A = this chain, B = another copy of it.
Amino acid sequence: MPHAHPTDDPARPAAGDPAEPHAWAVREGPLDLSRLEQVESLFALSNGRTGVRGGLEEGAPAGAPGTYLSGAHEVWPMTYPEYSYGYPKVQERLVQVPDATRVELFVAGERLDVRTGELTDHQRVLDLRSGTLQRHVRWTSPAGHRVVVDSERLVPLDRPGLLALDYVVRAVDEPLEVEVRSALVASEQLHGTVTSARHRGGALRQRTDGSGLAVAAHVEHDVVGPAGTEVRTHASADRVVTSARVRLAAGEALRVTKTVALGWAGQAERDELDAELAGLLTDGVREGWDRLRRQQRAVLDEFWTHADVVVDGDDELQQAVRFALFHVFQAAAQGTDRGIPAKGLTGTGYDGHTFWDTEVFVMPMLNHVWPEAAADALRWRHRMLPAARARARELGLAGATFPWRTITGRESSGYWPAGTAAVHLNADIADAAVRYLHATGDEELAREAVVDLVVETARSWVVLGREDAQGRFHVDGVTGPDEYSALVDDNAYTNLMAQANLRAAIELAGRFPEQARALGVTDEELAGFARLADAVHVPRDPETGVHAQDEGSTQRKRWDFEGTAPEQYPLADSFPYFSLYRSQVVKQADLVLAMHLRPEAFTWEEKRNAFEYYEELTVRDSSLSAAVQAVLAAEVGHLALAADYAHEAAFVDLHDLRGKTADGLHIASLAGAWLALVAGYGGMRDADGVLAFAPRLPEGLRGLRFRARHRGSCLEVSVTGDEVRYTVVDGEPVQASHHGQGFTVGPEEAVVLAVPPLPEDVLSRPRPRQPAGRGPRRRR
């Protein structure tokens, strides 16, 4: 019988020293029952449509196992002690769908349970190149029977709805009666379970009550074992179990390969769901485990060709950034008609909702490494446009107002200062759409979605803002990115993003006149956009001239950081909004994020002054901060600090820096790891459609290599010490800039340029201080 796993695979559990970070794999050390939930998140597999947490096949012990289908949600009533107009009355939550990963093993009648008998070896590996989760177990049952189990699972990145699991059990040193029971288990969060069985598989169907969805799973097995292997399937009330039973000779193995098709459908498409899944399953079975595994590897090879970031001099960071890239890809790979949730499909944190994270953190990376996924994310937002227009009308606004958190497009925030006032989200969406267009030149999607998104969001500012007597344009009473402020006037981030939104609308209306006409855009409207954009007010401190996060913010009372104990963080768990909002204390990059997304709106000195000012106030009670602080720290010459923030972003989940990894991974922070290295160390900017670089490595790093796709080409940037090598590895010549100097590089010849030294006054500048105890959390 062929062994399931090629022995030359470097990620193979048995190989290498688990204490050393593997460049292409993440290994679990000895099984730690106290970290089950966290590891389930780290080892989650997903293609953006189907997500499976990395639980043990036998189902127990377990942390918070779960299988999720993007968009498969239930609705709950939202009630308020004091309801007010516009509050959403229904909350959407991602639900667990049937568990298809369950495989129980009985050895001479004893059930495999890692807590019983003797576990002589237990290894799990997330292989970042094969895109599989592998497990190797050597177990002696309480009665003394020894088996070796090797399992591997994958969620095909190119086939939404499929899941495959390969399970091999081997008798070690004696003949053994073994039974493998592979199950589809109904979700306790769903209802109306109907099961059916065939010879080697079956189907299970459930439904949601409130949201009216049908959820189904179809399963089929391949069984390879010695002669006499008995296979049968039994459907009970809440599960479909296929069991394979045989007496193995010493050294002999039983292999069960499970292929599953999972899906859901709304009212309209319910009837087609089973036929669709049956077809999907047939295709998957026809391909077979080995081909599915090879295809998965091929998809990832293609991904890594464009996405890989090579870090020379920090093996741990190297592993972390690849882990990060892998999970962002998993979250986004098959987004087509769903959003990318804050936790991907790795857990139910934030109820499976999608926030602005997608547009501000994830899409800017995808644009350059896997623009197809960025396009999917854009199409999803575009599909939400009718709901966003309706919400704008409901709120008495104009154009479109997108939901702060959502699964299907309706607002699911029960906190109105987020759910209605965080209007920057609209400009963020426009910004991401424009960046996508700059990065790809994809005029087809511009016509299909980008123009609509940019124009409709631009329209909101006309109603949201006001012109003062001097003609300056203000936006009052909004919530910016920093969640420790709310309902502020002239949030600099919001105003600058609104300005870009208005200007992009003008530009796109000119470039795509047919779309603009369809939207009813007039010359007068565009003239209004231009007038407002030119008049946007950006507040500053009246004394020092430093940029203010919002009007008057620099004059507020500073938070009493010295009087705040470490256990009082995150502050929102220990202090009321009332106290936080009225003080100078910043949860997450806000003005600093403005400097990242609107770099041209600030001089270098303004950036440095503002960065240093906000370092003293920023407590990073959000994971959406470290990466942006890394980028700006690098830009203003605080390279050691940039490195520390880059690490915090990259290790957020591997080192569980926020203590929340159990609920799912921080997808935006993981995308931020890429951002910290590429936009931070690499100094890459893409706001105006031309790639700009300003590479500079922090101390201790010998080299950095990354690639960026840009309008059909692919540019490689390789930094070694003080030298940068720009190469076009694919496509047409690329125009770019290096530390402010323009250059063109073609496919024939690399361009090699030197990193200019940092001026002495920059080098000698003291490292900015953070609030007491709130410096970057560098490593565990």
Contacts and interface: CB of A to CB of B under 8 A. Distances in A.
Contact of A415 (B82, B478, B581): B82
A416 B80 contact: no
Q: Is the interface of A mostly helix, strand, loop or mixed?
A: loop
A735 interface: no
B489 A81 contact: no
A444 interface: no
A324 B341 CA distance: 58
A80 B578 contact: no
A91 B81 contact: yes
Contacts of A474: 555
B579 A396 contact: yes
B81 A81 contact: no
B555 A552 contact: no
B543 A85 contact: no
Interface stretch (A218-226, A518-526, A568-576): A568-576
A121 to B, nearest CB: 45
Contacts of A91: 81
Q: What class of interface size applies to chain A in its complex with B?
A: 35 or more
A487 interface: yes
A599 interface: no
A583 to B, nearest CB: 8
Interface in A560-603: 572-579, 581-582
A6 to B, nearest CB: 49
Contacts of A478: 582
A413 interface: yes
B82 A556 contact: no
Nearest to A558: B466
A420 B415 CA distance: 16
A414 B82 CA distance: 6
A557 B476 contact: yes
A477 B86 contact: no
Contacts of A476: 552, 556-557, 582
Contact of A85 (B82, B468, B552, B575): B575
Interface of A: 78-82, 84-86, 91, 395-397, 413-417, 420-421, 466, 468-469, 474, 476-478, 486-487, 489, 543, 551-552, 555-557, 572-579, 581-582
22 contacts: A78-B81, A80-B80, A81-B414, A84-B415, A84-B572, A85-B572, A86-B576, A86-B578, A395-B579, A396-B575, A416-B576, A417-B578, A466-B557, A469-B543, A476-B552, A476-B582, A477-B581, A477-B582, A486-B487, A487-B581, A487-B582, A489-B552
Given A85-B575, A416-B576, A476-B557, 18 more contacts: A78-B81, A80-B80, A81-B414, A82-B413, A85-B577, A86-B576, A395-B579, A396-B576, A421-B578, A468-B555, A469-B543, A474-B555, A476-B552, A476-B582, A477-B556, A478-B582, A487-B582, A489-B552
